[in-house]
Structure 1
C-alpha cells in the first residue's frame, strides 16, 4: 500500500499533536485526519469565549493543527507568524481570523477548504473539530475540589491534588466527521499532550468512545515524556494507561504504546533540564518492565531544547520512526476478536 493511501487519524491538541502531524507529513503521509479539542478556555481563547458567554468554539488547537499539515515553504512560515501574532492586549490574530472564517462558512468543518483557497496551502490532510458545539471542561480532584474550565487544569499543573474525574458541561455530541475519521482509519495515534486537557477530552463528546470501539484501526498511544503533577505525578506507563482504560471503557485500548527513550540524549544537559522540571513537580514517566497486555516500544524520539531548557518530541526522529513503523503495522494488522488483547 502506498504511503499516501494510509488513512491516519491523530487525536489530541495543544503543542503535542502538531508535532505528530508534522512528522507524519515529513514522512510523506498525506491522508491525515487530525481530530482536535474545541474546549480550550485559556488566554485569548478564554477571553473570546467569555465575551460570547461560552457560545463559541475554541479555535486555537484547530488552526495550530491546520498549520502542521501544511507542506513546508516560505508562505507557511509567513502565515504561521501572522496567526501567532498577539497585539498589545494579548489578542491573538489566529483566533480572530478563524472565528471570522467559521462565521462566513457557517461550519468549522468547511474552514480548512476556505483556508486552502485563500492561502494556497497544500495540506496533507484535514483538521476535524471533535464537536461543533461549545462546552467547558469540568473536573473534580481527589481532594474533592471541583473546577470549571480547561485553563484551570493548566493553572493547577504543579498541584499534587490529582484529577479524579473529568466531564463536559453541557454534554455535547461528537462531530459526525470525527466519528467517520475514527471508524475509517487504518492507524489511530493518540497524543502526546495533556492527558486530560488534550487527549481524553476528545473522548467526552457523545459518540466518540463508541466509534473508537468500532474502529478496526491499529491504535497507538504516544506516552508523554514528563509527568504533570495534577494528572500523573511520578507515574509509570501502567499508571498512565490505566487512566485511558477507565475513560475509553475497554481493557484493551491500544495495540502499541510508544515510550520516549532519554538515554541517548546529552547526559549533562539532560540532568540540568530534569532538575528544572522537578521544581514543577514534573518527572519522566517511567518504563515499567514486566508482562503487559499491550506491546511497548521504547524509542529515541525526543530532543533537548537548550534555549528553553525543555524536553520535546522531535519531528525529525518521529518522521524516521513513522516512515518505517506504519507500513509494517499495516502489514501485520489483523482485526481483533471481541475481548482479545492486542
Structure 2
C-alpha cells in the first residue's frame, strides 16, 4: 500500500485504534479517523447525563487520537494517565478532554492544543462525525425501543435483535468528515460494534451520501465474531450486505478482509470460542460464493489476559504494508 495515501478510517470503540496503529506501523502519515460521538455508557454516559445530554462523548475521540501517536515512552506514559479511573469509576481521559474542549470552545481545535502540549505531531487527525450532541436510538424485533448507545452493550447477549437504528435528535455531519471522505484515496471501515461504532457513523445527515460519492478504494475489515442482538449475519457477505443496506449502496466495498483463525494456537482458540458460545456468539464464516473480493488473512490474536479474540496491530501493519491497493 502506498504510504502517501490519504487514508480515512471509520469506526469507534476499540477496533478503530488498532487499525490506526496498524496503519502507522505501515508508514502511513495522512490518516483521517472519523469517530462516533454518541457513546452513552460508563463514565461517558454519566458525564453526558450530568450535562443534560448537551455534550458529546469524548471516549472514542481521545482513544483514536492516541492511536495516531508513534510508539514511545512519552506516549505510554500519557496512555497510562488517560486510562486512569478513580474509585468512583471516573476516567481521567474523558475529564481531561472535556476540559480541553471547553478551553478551546471547539472539539476540532482540541487536537492542535494537545499536539502543542505533548510536543508531537500525530500521523493524521481525528474527526468527530458530528459537532452536535445526539443519542443513538434503536428498535428490536419484539418492537421494544431504546434510547442510548449503552443499551446495545447491555443487550448484546439478547436474541431480540436490532432491526432499526436512528439518532435523536437527527444531526448534521461535521463538514470536515465529509471532506475527508471526498479527499480519501482509501477508506477503511474498521471492526467494532456494528450498530454502535460502524452504522452510527453514517446516521448524521450527509455521511452516507458522501461515502457513496467518494472515489476512494473502499476496504471492509469484518468483525471476528457475531453478536447475538445484531441482525442475522453468519458470513462476510451477510455482514457487508447489512452495511450496504444502511448505506443504500449495493457496491459499497472493493475488498473485504477477514481474520484467519486457523493459524491460532488450537487450545487457546478453543477456549476462546467456548467463552463466546456462552454469549450466543459465533465465528463469522467465509462465503466462498460471495460477490465481493475477500481475503482471509492472519490479523487476529487470542488476547492473553481475558482470552478474547482481537485484531492485532502488528499483524495489521504487516498486512497494510504488503497490500497492493
Q: Does the alignment reach a TM-score above 0.5? A: yes
2:132 corresponding residue in structure 1: 133
Alignment TM-score, normalising by the size of structure 1: 0.93
2:222 corresponding residue in structure 1: 223
Q: Which deviations, in whole Å up to 9, do the C-alpha atoms of 1:193-215 show, x marking residues without a partner?
A: 00100011000000101111111
1:82-93 equivalences in 2 (<5 Å): 82-93=81-92
Q: Provide the rounded CA distance (Å) in 1 between the counterparts of 2:218 and 2:23.
A: 15
Q: Provide the rounded CA distance (Å) in 2 between the counterparts of 1:115 and 1:318.
A: 27
Equivalent position SS for 2:263: coil
Q: Which deviations, in whole Å up to 9, do the C-alpha atoms of 1:274-327 show, x marking residues without a partner?
A: 00110011111111111x3321111111011222111110111100000111xx
By how many angstroms is 1:232 displaced?
A: 4.2
Q: Provide the rounded CA distance (Å) in 1 between the counterparts of 2:273 and 2:251.
A: 32
1:43 corresponding residue in structure 2: 42
1:64-213 equivalences in 2 (<5 Å): 64-213=63-212
Structure 2 contact 237–292 (Cα < 8 Å) conserved: no
Superposition misfits of 4+ residues, deviation over 6 angstroms: none
2:309 corresponding residue in structure 1: 311
Distance 1:2 1:264, change over 3 A: closer
By how many angstroms is 1:45 displaced?
A: 0.3
2:261 corresponding residue in structure 1: 262
- Segment drifting more, 13-22 vs 295-304: 295-304
Q: Which deviations, in whole Å up to 9, do the C-alpha atoms of 1:243-266 show, x marking residues without a partner?
A: 111100011110001111100111
| Structure 1: gaps spanning 5 or more residues | 330-342
Q: Provide the rounded CA distance (Å) in 1 between the counterparts of 2:71 and 2:240.
A: 34
Partner of residue 320 from structure 2, selected from 308, 319, 322? 322
1:214 corresponding residue in structure 2: 213
Alignment TM-score, normalising by the size of structure 2: 0.98
1:53 corresponding residue in structure 2: 52
Aligned-residue RMSD, C-alpha:
1.1
- Segment drifting more, 137-146 vs 301-310: 301-310
